Amino acid sequence: MLVAVVAAVYAALLIPFAGFVVVPGITAVRPGNVIPVIFGIMFGPAAAWGSAIGNLINDIFAGTFGPGSLFGFIGNFFFGLLGYKLWGNLGPLSSGVEPDFRENTIRQLVEFVAIAAAASAVCAAIIAWGLEVLGLFPFSVLGTVIFANNLIATVVLGPPLLYLTYPRIKEMGLLYPDLLHDEDVPDVGLGRARTAALGLLAVSIIWVTVGIAISLGVYNVEFGVAQGETFGQGGATIQIVLGAIGFLLVLGLTAISGERLSRLLD
């Protein structure tokens, strides 16, 4: 049920803005990008699948469905997953409380911005890498736009939306710790969960940063260049290899990571 709800809400917030195009045929202004992270924190894996499906629905209705939609599906899956995996697991960056923005507000904001940056970066890196693999665009064209688009929407809209919605979702018993069976919640020690979460944060930021730097510095792609000038110029071997390593690291760290909200609720 939650997968369907997240997918419907995400798509409903993306489709009306499909006309505000940033990269024709690829991406548009998307204030709905706040949904994956805040829903990921509250609804866990259901939000990851819902985000992936919702983005796919948007691609179909917005006329951007194509080979790149596969990487959009994967990128948005991780966009929704990282909030679930990272909240409470970032060591000194974590607030140690539930994400209701009612106590330790500054520390919660720091933690949320770190998570938003990691989730935005991994989504941007996966999609930019995918379009590079398909030979459509250099990494920096999509990596820059998607990262900025995701991060701005999430950081600006996320905290007030969590302030308004988290207590109500908790009262309704719809947080993922209330819905998942005990055996479905990762049983991971604090040390391993923290190491994996910090690793995901680092890999995500490094991947998108290095990928953009390679496009700009090695392949001399102009910053903010119009997409029409770079279409068909993807396929750089170094970007494909870097992306493969980054993606495998993200998969591995995700596999060994845990979650923390269920313990914060105890």
Query: What confidence tens digit (pLDDT) does each residue in 3-18 have?
Result: 999 999 999 888 876 5
**Residue ranges making up the domain that contains 105:** 1-264
CA distances from 228 to 123, 137, 232 (A): 23, 10, 9
Specify the pLDDT at position 26. 45
pTM: 0.92
User: Residue 24: is its pLDDT beyond 50?
Assistant: no
User: pLDDT-based confidence at 233, cuts 50/70/90?
Assistant: confident
Q: Shortest CA distance to 113 belongs to which of 81, 158, 146?
A: 158
Q: Measured between alpha carbons, how far is 203 from 224 in angstroms, rounded to an integer?
A: 24
Mean pLDDT for the chain overall: 90
Q: Shortest CA distance to 134 belongs to which of 80, 78, 203, 72?
A: 72
Question: Average pLDDT for residues 53-63, to the nearest whole number?
Answer: 90
Contact 215, 125 (CB under 8 A): no
User: 241: how many CB neighbours lie within 10 A of its CB?
Assistant: 10
Overall number of domains in the chain:
1
Q: Which two tokens stand for residue 238?
A: 């170094």
